[in-house]
Amino acid sequence: MKKKVNLFTIYLIPYLIFSVIFIVLPMFFIGFYSLVEEKNSFIYNITINNFKLFFETNLYLKAIGKSLYLAFVATIVCVAICYPLAYYISRRSKKWQKALVLFITSPMWINMLLRTLAIKQLLDGPLLKFVRLFNPDINVIIGNDFSVILGMVYNYIPYMILPIYTSLLKIDNKLIEASTDLGAKKSETFTHVTLPLSIPGIIAGVTMVFLSCTTTITISKYLGEGRYYLVGNLIENEFITNSRWGFGSAISIIMLLLMMVLMLAFDHLSKKWEVK
CB atoms within 10 A of CB 172: 10
- Kindly list the domain boundaries of the chain, sorted by start residue: 1-34, 49-275
**What is the pLDDT confidence band of residue 1, given thresholds at 50, 70 and 90?**
very low
Distance, in Å, from the CA atom of 117 to the CA atom of 121, rounded to the nearest integer, reads: 6
Question: What pLDDT, on a 0 to 100 scale, did the predictor assign at position 60?
Answer: 84
Distance, in Å, from the CA atom of 210 to the CA atom of 208, rounded to the nearest integer, reads: 6
Task: Label residues 12-45 b or e (16+ Cβ within 10 Å = b).
Answer: eeeeeeeeeeeeeeeeeebeebbbbeeeeeeeee
Distance, in Å, from the CA atom of 276 to the CA atom of 273, rounded to the nearest integer, reads: 5
Of 247, 273, 225, give the one whose Cα is nearest residue 36: 247
**What is the pLDDT confidence band of residue 275, given thresholds at 50, 70 and 90?**
very low
Distance, in Å, from the CA atom of 218 to the CA atom of 222, rounded to the nearest integer, reads: 6
Task: Label residues 185-223 b or e (16+ Cβ within 10 Å = b).
Answer: eeeebbeebbeebbbbbbbbbbbbbbbbbbbbbbbbbbb
The DSSP result for 155-178, as a single string, is HHHHHHHHHHHHHHHTS-HHHHHH
Encode pLDDT of 163-205 as tens digits. Answer: 999 999 988 888 888 888 778 788 888 888 888 888 889 998 9
**What is the pLDDT confidence band of residue 273, given thresholds at 50, 70 and 90?**
low
Point out which residues pair with 23 in neighbouring strands: none
Question: What pLDDT, on a 0 to 100 scale, did the predictor assign at position 79?
Answer: 95
Question: What pLDDT, on a 0 to 100 scale, did the predictor assign at position 4?
Answer: 58
User: What mean pLDDT value characterizes the chain?
Assistant: 86
Find out whether 128 and 138 touch, Cβ atoms under 8 Å.
yes
What average pLDDT does range 220-245 have in this prediction?
A: 84
Find out whether 157 and 75 touch, Cβ atoms under 8 Å.
no
Encode pLDDT of 34-76 as tens digits. Answer: 998 876 667 778 888 889 988 888 888 888 899 999 999 999 9
User: Which phi-psi region, left, alpha or beta, contains residue 58 (left: φ > 0; alpha: ψ -120 to 50)?
Assistant: alpha
- State the CATH class of domain 49-275: mainly alpha
Question: What pLDDT, on a 0 to 100 scale, did the predictor assign at position 232?
Answer: 86
- Identity of the amino acid at 131: V
Report the range of poorest mean pLDDT among 8-12, 119-123, 168-172.
Answer: 8-12
- Identity of the amino acid at 179: S
Distance, in Å, from the CA atom of 243 to the CA atom of 237, rounded to the nearest integer, reads: 8
